Structure 1
Amino acid sequence: MKQMKAVIFDMDGVISNTVPIQYETNLRLAKTLNISFSREWNQSLQGLSRRKTVEAMIEASSSTFTEDEVDEICNKKNYHYRELISQLTPRDAQPGIREFIQELANHKIPMVIASASQNASFVLSKLELLSFFQGVVDVTTLKRGKPDPEIFLKAADIVGVAPAECIALEDGEAGLTAILQTEMFSVGIGIEPFMKNADYYVESTSKLTLDGLEAVLNKHQRTIR
Protein backbone atom coordinates (compact mmCIF):
# COMPACT_ATOMS: atom_id res chain seq x y z
CA MET A 1 0.00 0.00 0.00
CA LYS A 2 1.05 3.59 -0.61
CA GLN A 3 2.30 5.27 2.56
CA MET A 4 0.73 8.61 3.49
CA LYS A 5 3.48 10.61 5.16
CA ALA A 6 1.94 13.89 6.36
CA VAL A 7 -1.35 15.46 7.41
CA ILE A 8 -2.27 19.04 6.50
CA PHE A 9 -4.93 20.86 8.50
CA ASP A 10 -7.07 23.87 7.87
CA MET A 11 -7.58 25.60 11.22
CA ASP A 12 -10.84 27.55 11.62
CA GLY A 13 -13.67 25.05 12.04
CA VAL A 14 -11.32 22.07 11.86
CA ILE A 15 -9.02 22.63 14.85
CA SER A 16 -10.41 25.77 16.47
CA ASN A 17 -13.99 26.65 17.28
CA THR A 18 -13.45 30.10 15.81
CA VAL A 19 -16.14 30.12 13.12
CA PRO A 20 -18.64 31.75 15.54
CA ILE A 21 -16.02 34.41 16.29
CA GLN A 22 -15.55 35.02 12.59
CA TYR A 23 -19.32 35.31 12.22
CA GLU A 24 -19.50 37.91 14.97
CA THR A 25 -16.64 39.87 13.40
CA ASN A 26 -18.16 39.70 9.91
CA LEU A 27 -21.61 40.58 11.23
CA ARG A 28 -20.17 43.72 12.78
CA LEU A 29 -18.69 44.71 9.41
CA ALA A 30 -21.97 43.89 7.63
CA LYS A 31 -23.81 46.29 9.91
CA THR A 32 -21.41 49.11 9.06
CA LEU A 33 -21.96 48.35 5.35
CA ASN A 34 -25.73 48.22 5.89
CA ILE A 35 -26.08 44.72 4.43
CA SER A 36 -27.71 41.60 5.82
CA PHE A 37 -25.42 38.76 6.86
CA SER A 38 -26.16 35.11 7.63
CA ARG A 39 -24.33 32.16 9.12
CA GLU A 40 -24.69 30.45 5.74
CA TRP A 41 -22.86 33.29 4.02
CA ASN A 42 -20.25 33.24 6.77
CA GLN A 43 -19.67 29.53 6.12
CA SER A 44 -19.25 30.14 2.40
CA LEU A 45 -16.51 32.67 3.20
CA GLN A 46 -14.50 30.09 5.19
CA GLY A 47 -10.99 29.71 3.82
CA LEU A 48 -10.88 33.07 2.09
CA SER A 49 -8.29 35.63 3.12
CA ARG A 50 -9.25 38.60 5.26
CA ARG A 51 -9.07 40.94 2.28
CA LYS A 52 -11.10 38.65 0.00
CA THR A 53 -13.74 38.39 2.70
CA VAL A 54 -13.92 42.16 3.08
CA GLU A 55 -14.02 42.67 -0.70
CA ALA A 56 -16.86 40.14 -1.04
CA MET A 57 -18.89 41.96 1.60
CA ILE A 58 -18.19 45.37 0.08
CA GLU A 59 -19.28 44.04 -3.32
CA ALA A 60 -22.64 43.08 -1.80
CA SER A 61 -23.14 46.64 -0.55
CA SER A 62 -23.77 49.86 -2.43
CA SER A 63 -20.59 51.37 -1.00
CA THR A 64 -17.33 52.12 -2.74
CA PHE A 65 -13.95 52.51 -1.08
CA THR A 66 -10.41 53.38 -2.09
CA GLU A 67 -7.65 50.81 -1.67
CA ASP A 68 -6.43 52.62 1.43
CA GLU A 69 -9.93 52.58 2.89
CA VAL A 70 -10.24 48.85 2.24
CA ASP A 71 -6.90 48.37 4.00
CA GLU A 72 -8.25 50.30 6.99
CA ILE A 73 -11.43 48.17 7.06
CA CYS A 74 -9.29 45.03 7.02
CA ASN A 75 -7.17 46.34 9.89
CA LYS A 76 -10.23 47.24 11.99
CA LYS A 77 -11.77 43.85 11.29
CA ASN A 78 -8.57 42.11 12.39
CA TYR A 79 -8.31 44.26 15.52
CA HIS A 80 -11.79 43.22 16.60
CA TYR A 81 -11.06 39.57 15.75
CA ARG A 82 -7.82 39.64 17.75
CA GLU A 83 -9.70 41.00 20.74
CA LEU A 84 -12.07 38.03 20.62
CA ILE A 85 -9.51 35.28 19.98
CA SER A 86 -7.34 36.57 22.83
CA GLN A 87 -9.97 35.03 25.10
CA LEU A 88 -9.61 31.52 23.63
CA THR A 89 -8.59 28.62 25.88
CA PRO A 90 -7.80 24.94 25.20
CA ARG A 91 -11.52 24.26 25.67
CA ASP A 92 -12.16 26.06 22.37
CA ALA A 93 -10.60 23.28 20.30
CA GLN A 94 -13.09 21.43 18.12
CA PRO A 95 -14.62 18.25 19.62
CA GLY A 96 -12.24 15.29 19.46
CA ILE A 97 -9.57 17.14 17.48
CA ARG A 98 -7.02 17.24 20.31
CA GLU A 99 -7.23 13.45 20.66
CA PHE A 100 -6.91 12.98 16.90
CA ILE A 101 -3.85 15.24 16.74
CA GLN A 102 -2.34 13.38 19.69
CA GLU A 103 -2.89 10.04 17.90
CA LEU A 104 -1.03 11.34 14.84
CA ALA A 105 1.78 12.67 17.04
CA ASN A 106 2.06 9.32 18.84
CA HIS A 107 2.72 7.71 15.45
CA LYS A 108 5.22 10.46 14.55
CA ILE A 109 3.17 11.63 11.58
CA PRO A 110 4.19 15.18 10.55
CA MET A 111 1.43 17.80 10.66
CA VAL A 112 1.25 21.24 9.03
CA ILE A 113 -1.27 24.09 9.15
CA ALA A 114 -2.66 25.51 5.88
CA SER A 115 -4.94 28.27 7.12
CA ALA A 116 -5.90 31.51 5.41
CA SER A 117 -5.71 33.21 8.80
CA GLN A 118 -2.69 35.36 9.60
CA ASN A 119 -3.54 34.65 13.25
CA ALA A 120 -3.18 30.87 12.96
CA SER A 121 -0.10 30.51 15.18
CA PHE A 122 -1.63 32.77 17.82
CA VAL A 123 -4.87 30.77 17.90
CA LEU A 124 -3.03 27.46 18.09
CA SER A 125 -0.91 28.74 20.96
CA LYS A 126 -4.06 29.75 22.85
CA LEU A 127 -5.42 26.22 22.30
CA GLU A 128 -2.05 24.79 23.44
CA LEU A 129 -1.70 22.85 20.18
CA LEU A 130 0.98 24.79 18.28
CA SER A 131 3.82 22.50 19.41
CA PHE A 132 2.26 19.52 17.65
CA PHE A 133 2.82 21.05 14.22
CA GLN A 134 5.98 21.05 12.15
CA GLY A 135 5.00 24.29 10.49
CA VAL A 136 2.35 26.89 9.66
CA VAL A 137 2.18 28.24 6.12
CA ASP A 138 2.94 31.98 6.09
CA VAL A 139 -0.03 33.28 4.10
CA THR A 140 1.68 36.62 3.51
CA THR A 141 4.06 34.81 1.13
CA LEU A 142 1.27 33.38 -1.04
CA LYS A 143 0.58 34.72 -4.50
CA ARG A 144 -2.89 33.20 -4.56
CA GLY A 145 -5.24 32.26 -1.74
CA LYS A 146 -7.81 29.48 -1.52
CA PRO A 147 -9.44 28.11 -3.70
CA ASP A 148 -6.02 28.05 -5.39
CA PRO A 149 -4.03 25.01 -4.15
CA GLU A 150 -0.82 26.99 -3.50
CA ILE A 151 -1.24 27.02 0.30
CA PHE A 152 -1.58 23.22 0.48
CA LEU A 153 1.38 22.65 -1.85
CA LYS A 154 3.50 24.95 0.34
CA ALA A 155 2.38 23.00 3.40
CA ALA A 156 3.65 19.81 1.81
CA ASP A 157 6.94 21.52 0.98
CA ILE A 158 7.44 22.48 4.64
CA VAL A 159 7.83 18.81 5.58
CA GLY A 160 9.32 17.72 2.27
CA VAL A 161 6.49 15.36 1.40
CA ALA A 162 5.02 14.87 -2.08
CA PRO A 163 1.38 16.01 -2.42
CA ALA A 164 0.33 12.48 -3.37
CA GLU A 165 1.59 11.33 0.05
CA CYS A 166 -0.38 13.93 2.03
CA ILE A 167 -3.79 13.94 3.68
CA ALA A 168 -5.54 17.33 3.86
CA LEU A 169 -8.48 18.25 6.10
CA GLU A 170 -10.94 21.07 5.36
CA ASP A 171 -14.36 22.35 6.36
CA GLY A 172 -14.66 25.17 3.80
CA GLU A 173 -15.68 24.98 0.15
CA ALA A 174 -12.79 27.19 -0.98
CA GLY A 175 -10.27 25.01 0.85
CA LEU A 176 -11.68 21.70 -0.34
CA THR A 177 -11.78 23.05 -3.89
CA ALA A 178 -8.06 23.78 -3.50
CA ILE A 179 -7.26 20.30 -2.19
CA LEU A 180 -9.20 18.62 -5.01
CA GLN A 181 -6.85 20.27 -7.51
CA THR A 182 -3.92 18.37 -5.99
CA GLU A 183 -3.06 14.69 -5.59
CA MET A 184 -3.69 14.87 -1.84
CA PHE A 185 -6.17 12.59 -0.09
CA SER A 186 -8.98 14.94 0.90
CA VAL A 187 -11.00 14.86 4.12
CA GLY A 188 -14.14 17.00 4.24
CA ILE A 189 -15.60 17.97 7.62
CA GLY A 190 -19.05 19.39 8.34
CA ILE A 191 -22.62 19.30 7.13
CA GLU A 192 -22.16 21.46 4.04
CA PRO A 193 -23.13 19.38 0.96
CA PHE A 194 -19.90 20.29 -0.86
CA MET A 195 -17.87 18.42 1.77
CA LYS A 196 -19.16 15.14 0.36
CA ASN A 197 -16.92 15.71 -2.68
CA ALA A 198 -13.93 14.75 -0.53
CA ASP A 199 -12.30 11.31 -0.59
CA TYR A 200 -13.44 10.89 3.01
CA TYR A 201 -16.27 12.78 4.67
CA VAL A 202 -17.29 13.18 8.33
CA GLU A 203 -20.01 15.43 9.72
CA SER A 204 -18.00 16.40 12.79
CA THR A 205 -14.41 16.44 14.02
CA SER A 206 -15.63 14.20 16.84
CA LYS A 207 -15.84 11.43 14.21
CA LEU A 208 -12.15 11.73 13.30
CA THR A 209 -9.99 8.86 14.57
CA LEU A 210 -6.78 7.34 13.34
CA ASP A 211 -8.43 3.93 13.06
CA GLY A 212 -11.30 5.35 11.02
CA LEU A 213 -8.96 7.22 8.70
CA GLU A 214 -6.76 4.16 8.28
CA ALA A 215 -9.75 2.02 7.35
CA VAL A 216 -10.81 4.42 4.60
CA LEU A 217 -7.25 4.79 3.34
CA ASN A 218 -6.93 1.01 3.09
CA LYS A 219 -9.92 0.96 0.75
CA HIS A 220 -7.93 3.34 -1.47
CA GLN A 221 -4.86 1.10 -1.23
CA ARG A 222 -3.12 3.52 1.12
CA THR A 223 -1.97 3.50 4.72
CA ILE A 224 -0.82 6.05 7.27
CA ARG A 225 1.03 3.84 9.74
Structure 2
Amino acid sequence: MKNFAAIFDMDGTLIDNNVYHFKAYQQLFASHGLPQLSQQTFNEYLSGVPGLMGLHKILDGQFNDDELKAMFEEKNENYKTVYAPYVKPITGLERFLASLKQAGVSMAVATSASHGNVDFVFGHLNIRQYFDAIVDNTGLTRGKPDPEIFLKAAKALNMQPADCVVFEDSISGVKAANSAGMKVVAITTTHKGGELKPVNILIDDYTNIDLNKLAALFD
Protein backbone atom coordinates (compact mmCIF):
# COMPACT_ATOMS: atom_id res chain seq x y z
CA MET A 1 0.00 0.00 0.00
CA LYS A 2 1.39 3.37 -1.02
CA ASN A 3 2.03 5.78 1.81
CA PHE A 4 -0.68 8.46 1.97
CA ALA A 5 -2.27 10.83 4.48
CA ALA A 6 -5.88 11.65 5.32
CA ILE A 7 -6.99 15.19 6.14
CA PHE A 8 -10.40 15.77 7.71
CA ASP A 9 -12.49 18.88 7.90
CA MET A 10 -14.34 19.03 11.24
CA ASP A 11 -17.79 20.66 11.05
CA GLY A 12 -20.10 18.49 8.97
CA THR A 13 -17.34 15.93 8.44
CA LEU A 14 -16.41 14.52 11.84
CA ILE A 15 -19.69 15.70 13.35
CA ASP A 16 -23.04 16.57 11.80
CA ASN A 17 -23.39 20.00 13.38
CA ASN A 18 -24.07 22.59 10.68
CA VAL A 19 -27.75 22.88 11.62
CA TYR A 20 -26.59 24.04 15.08
CA HIS A 21 -24.23 26.63 13.60
CA PHE A 22 -27.15 27.87 11.50
CA LYS A 23 -29.39 28.13 14.58
CA ALA A 24 -26.66 29.99 16.48
CA TYR A 25 -26.25 32.53 13.67
CA GLN A 26 -30.02 32.97 13.46
CA GLN A 27 -30.09 33.74 17.20
CA LEU A 28 -27.26 36.24 16.72
CA PHE A 29 -29.00 38.05 13.88
CA ALA A 30 -32.28 38.20 15.82
CA SER A 31 -30.59 39.55 18.97
CA HIS A 32 -29.03 42.40 16.96
CA GLY A 33 -32.21 43.30 15.09
CA LEU A 34 -30.88 42.09 11.74
CA PRO A 35 -32.99 40.55 8.95
CA GLN A 36 -33.51 36.81 9.36
CA LEU A 37 -30.54 34.79 8.09
CA SER A 38 -31.56 32.52 5.24
CA GLN A 39 -30.26 29.01 4.64
CA GLN A 40 -28.93 30.15 1.27
CA THR A 41 -26.91 33.01 2.79
CA PHE A 42 -25.57 30.70 5.48
CA ASN A 43 -24.52 28.09 2.90
CA GLU A 44 -22.89 30.71 0.68
CA TYR A 45 -21.04 32.84 3.22
CA LEU A 46 -20.74 30.95 6.51
CA SER A 47 -20.65 27.20 5.84
CA GLY A 48 -17.15 25.76 5.59
CA VAL A 49 -15.35 29.10 5.91
CA PRO A 50 -13.98 31.08 8.89
CA GLY A 51 -17.09 32.59 10.46
CA LEU A 52 -15.59 36.00 11.15
CA MET A 53 -14.64 36.33 7.48
CA GLY A 54 -18.20 35.41 6.57
CA LEU A 55 -19.69 37.99 8.92
CA HIS A 56 -17.46 40.66 7.39
CA LYS A 57 -18.81 39.81 3.93
CA ILE A 58 -22.46 39.83 5.06
CA LEU A 59 -22.40 42.77 7.50
CA ASP A 60 -19.55 44.92 6.18
CA GLY A 61 -20.24 48.58 6.84
CA GLN A 62 -22.91 47.94 9.49
CA PHE A 63 -20.48 47.11 12.32
CA ASN A 64 -16.81 47.85 13.00
CA ASP A 65 -14.14 45.17 13.46
CA ASP A 66 -14.41 45.04 17.25
CA GLU A 67 -18.18 44.75 17.10
CA LEU A 68 -17.99 41.92 14.57
CA LYS A 69 -15.44 40.06 16.72
CA ALA A 70 -17.73 40.38 19.74
CA MET A 71 -20.69 39.19 17.67
CA PHE A 72 -18.73 36.17 16.46
CA GLU A 73 -17.87 35.24 20.05
CA GLU A 74 -21.55 35.64 20.95
CA LYS A 75 -22.47 33.29 18.10
CA ASN A 76 -19.91 30.72 19.32
CA GLU A 77 -21.43 30.76 22.80
CA ASN A 78 -24.89 30.31 21.27
CA TYR A 79 -23.56 27.36 19.27
CA LYS A 80 -21.99 25.61 22.25
CA THR A 81 -25.18 26.01 24.27
CA VAL A 82 -27.51 24.59 21.62
CA TYR A 83 -25.15 21.83 20.42
CA ALA A 84 -23.58 20.52 23.65
CA PRO A 85 -26.34 17.96 24.41
CA TYR A 86 -26.09 16.46 20.91
CA VAL A 87 -22.37 16.19 20.13
CA LYS A 88 -21.54 12.78 18.65
CA PRO A 89 -19.34 11.48 15.83
CA ILE A 90 -20.81 10.70 12.42
CA THR A 91 -21.77 7.03 12.14
CA GLY A 92 -18.78 4.75 11.64
CA LEU A 93 -16.17 7.47 12.22
CA GLU A 94 -14.38 5.96 15.21
CA ARG A 95 -14.06 2.52 13.60
CA PHE A 96 -12.77 4.09 10.40
CA LEU A 97 -10.20 6.30 12.17
CA ALA A 98 -8.97 3.32 14.20
CA SER A 99 -8.47 1.26 11.04
CA LEU A 100 -6.45 4.03 9.40
CA LYS A 101 -4.34 4.52 12.52
CA GLN A 102 -3.64 0.79 12.74
CA ALA A 103 -2.51 0.82 9.10
CA GLY A 104 -0.07 3.66 9.80
CA VAL A 105 -1.94 6.36 7.84
CA SER A 106 -1.02 9.86 9.02
CA MET A 107 -4.08 11.98 9.80
CA ALA A 108 -4.82 15.65 10.39
CA VAL A 109 -7.81 17.86 11.05
CA ALA A 110 -7.96 21.01 8.90
CA THR A 111 -10.88 23.16 9.98
CA SER A 112 -12.02 26.74 9.50
CA ALA A 113 -13.31 26.61 13.08
CA SER A 114 -11.68 28.54 15.90
CA HIS A 115 -9.32 26.91 18.39
CA GLY A 116 -12.04 27.21 21.04
CA ASN A 117 -14.60 25.38 18.91
CA VAL A 118 -12.08 22.64 18.14
CA ASP A 119 -11.45 22.13 21.87
CA PHE A 120 -15.21 22.13 22.48
CA VAL A 121 -15.78 19.33 19.95
CA PHE A 122 -12.81 17.21 20.96
CA GLY A 123 -13.78 17.64 24.59
CA HIS A 124 -16.97 15.73 23.77
CA LEU A 125 -15.45 13.09 21.49
CA ASN A 126 -12.75 10.53 22.26
CA ILE A 127 -10.95 10.80 18.91
CA ARG A 128 -8.12 13.32 19.38
CA GLN A 129 -5.58 10.51 19.72
CA TYR A 130 -6.04 9.50 16.09
CA PHE A 131 -4.73 12.78 14.68
CA ASP A 132 -1.09 13.71 14.19
CA ALA A 133 -1.88 17.40 13.58
CA ILE A 134 -4.78 19.80 14.07
CA VAL A 135 -4.88 22.95 11.95
CA ASP A 136 -7.58 25.47 12.88
CA ASN A 137 -8.19 29.04 11.67
CA THR A 138 -5.35 30.45 13.78
CA GLY A 139 -3.12 32.46 11.47
CA LEU A 140 -5.21 31.59 8.44
CA THR A 141 -5.10 34.44 5.92
CA ARG A 142 -7.32 32.97 3.21
CA GLY A 143 -10.40 30.87 3.88
CA LYS A 144 -11.74 28.04 1.76
CA PRO A 145 -12.11 27.71 -1.23
CA ASP A 146 -8.47 28.81 -1.07
CA PRO A 147 -6.29 25.70 -0.49
CA GLU A 148 -4.14 27.34 2.20
CA ILE A 149 -5.48 25.31 5.13
CA PHE A 150 -5.08 21.95 3.41
CA LEU A 151 -1.56 22.79 2.26
CA LYS A 152 -0.70 23.73 5.85
CA ALA A 153 -2.07 20.38 7.03
CA ALA A 154 -0.03 18.46 4.44
CA LYS A 155 3.08 20.33 5.53
CA ALA A 156 2.34 19.52 9.18
CA LEU A 157 2.19 15.83 8.23
CA ASN A 158 5.35 16.13 6.08
CA MET A 159 3.41 14.88 3.06
CA GLN A 160 3.13 16.04 -0.54
CA PRO A 161 -0.36 17.30 -1.53
CA ALA A 162 -0.68 14.62 -4.22
CA ASP A 163 -0.31 11.98 -1.49
CA CYS A 164 -3.20 13.36 0.60
CA VAL A 165 -6.93 12.71 0.58
CA VAL A 166 -9.33 15.26 2.05
CA PHE A 167 -12.67 14.48 3.70
CA GLU A 168 -15.10 17.37 3.24
CA ASP A 169 -18.81 18.22 3.40
CA SER A 170 -18.86 21.76 2.01
CA ILE A 171 -18.72 23.08 -1.54
CA SER A 172 -15.97 25.53 -0.60
CA GLY A 173 -14.02 22.73 1.08
CA VAL A 174 -14.23 20.47 -1.96
CA LYS A 175 -13.02 23.34 -4.14
CA ALA A 176 -10.13 23.99 -1.75
CA ALA A 177 -9.09 20.33 -1.73
CA ASN A 178 -9.15 20.18 -5.52
CA SER A 179 -7.14 23.40 -5.75
CA ALA A 180 -4.58 21.84 -3.39
CA GLY A 181 -4.16 18.91 -5.82
CA MET A 182 -5.49 16.37 -3.32
CA LYS A 183 -7.92 13.46 -3.61
CA VAL A 184 -11.40 14.18 -2.24
CA VAL A 185 -13.94 12.13 -0.30
CA ALA A 186 -17.18 14.10 0.09
CA ILE A 187 -19.76 13.35 2.77
CA THR A 188 -23.40 14.31 2.19
CA THR A 189 -24.22 15.78 5.60
CA THR A 190 -24.60 19.36 4.34
CA HIS A 191 -25.12 19.17 0.58
CA LYS A 192 -26.59 16.73 -1.91
CA GLY A 193 -24.07 14.61 -3.75
CA GLY A 194 -24.62 16.39 -7.05
CA GLU A 195 -23.52 19.69 -5.50
CA LEU A 196 -20.17 18.29 -4.36
CA LYS A 197 -17.90 17.88 -7.36
CA PRO A 198 -15.50 16.87 -8.59
CA VAL A 199 -14.82 14.21 -5.96
CA ASN A 200 -13.21 10.77 -5.97
CA ILE A 201 -15.60 9.10 -3.53
CA LEU A 202 -19.02 10.15 -2.22
CA ILE A 203 -20.29 8.81 1.11
CA ASP A 204 -23.28 9.28 3.41
CA ASP A 205 -21.29 8.26 6.50
CA TYR A 206 -18.18 6.26 7.39
CA THR A 207 -19.85 2.88 6.99
CA ASN A 208 -19.61 3.53 3.23
CA ILE A 209 -15.81 3.54 3.13
CA ASP A 210 -12.86 1.47 4.32
CA LEU A 211 -9.08 1.43 4.15
CA ASN A 212 -8.98 -0.56 0.91
CA LYS A 213 -11.27 1.88 -0.96
CA LEU A 214 -9.16 4.77 0.24
CA ALA A 215 -5.82 3.13 -0.61
CA ALA A 216 -7.12 2.32 -4.11
CA LEU A 217 -7.18 6.06 -4.87
CA PHE A 218 -3.39 6.03 -4.77
CA ASP A 219 -2.73 2.87 -6.82
TM-score calculated relative to the size of structure 2: 0.86
**Which residue type is aligned with residue 171 of structure 2?**
E
Partner of 2:97: 101
Moved more, 200-209 or 21-30: 200-209
**Which residue type is aligned with residue 98 of structure 2?**
Q
**Which residue type is aligned with residue 187 of structure 2?**
I
Task: Give the counterpart of 2:154 among 153, 156, 164.
Answer: 156
Partner of 2:56: 55
**Which residue type is aligned with residue 170 of structure 1?**
E
TM-score calculated relative to the size of structure 1: 0.84
Q: Report deviation, 1:116.
A: 0.5
Moved more, 155-164 or 49-58: 49-58
Preserved contact between residue 16 and residue 89 of structure 2 (Cα < 8 Å): yes
Kindly indicate whether residue 35 of structure 2 is the aligned counterpart of residue 35 of structure 1: yes
RMSD of Structure 2 on Structure 1 (CA)? 2.2
Q: Report deviation, 1:88.
A: 5.0
Q: How does 1:4-83 map to 2 (within 5 A)?
A: 4-31=3-30, 32-44=32-44, 45-58=46-59, 64-83=62-81
3-state SS, counterpart of residue 185 of structure 2: strand
Q: Deviations over 1:73-115 (max 9, x none)?
A: 11211222233444455xx111111221111111121110000
Preserved contact between residue 88 and residue 127 of structure 1 (Cα < 8 Å): no
Q: Give unpaired runs (5+ residues) of structure 1.
A: none
**Which residue type is aligned with residue 9 of structure 1?**
F
Q: Report deviation, 1:51.
A: 0.4
Partner of 1:128: 126
Structure 2 vs 1, CA of residues 200 and 38 (structure 1 numbering), >3 Å: closer, same or farther? same
Q: Report deviation, 1:143.
A: 1.7
**Which residue type is aligned with residue 35 of structure 2?**
I
3-state SS, counterpart of residue 180 of structure 1: helix
Q: Report deviation, 1:40.
A: 4.6
Structure 2 vs 1, CA of residues 75 and 121 (structure 1 numbering), >3 Å: closer, same or farther? closer
Q: Report deviation, 1:33.
A: 4.3
Preserved contact between residue 168 and residue 186 of structure 2 (Cα < 8 Å): yes
Task: Give the counterpart of 2:111 among 115, 120, 125.
Answer: 115
Structure 1 CA distance for aligned equivalents of residues 3 and 180 of structure 2: 14
Moved more, 119-128 or 167-176: 119-128
Structure 2 CA distance for aligned equivalents of residues 94 and 138 of structure 1: 20
Q: Report deviation, 1:71.
A: 1.6
Preserved contact between residue 10 and residue 115 of structure 1 (Cα < 8 Å): yes
**Which residue type is aligned with residue 166 of structure 2?**
A
**Which residue type is aligned with residue 37 of structure 1?**
L
* Paired-residue identity, %: 28
Q: Report deviation, 1:125.
A: 3.0
**Which residue type is aligned with residue 34 of structure 1?**
L
3-state SS, counterpart of residue 202 of structure 2: strand
3-state SS, counterpart of residue 67 of structure 2: helix
Q: Give unpaired runs (5+ residues) of structure 2.
A: none
Structure 2 vs 1, CA of residues 205 and 52 (structure 1 numbering), >3 Å: closer, same or farther? farther
Q: Deviations over 1:128-165 (max 9, x none)?
A: 11111011014212221211111000101111011111
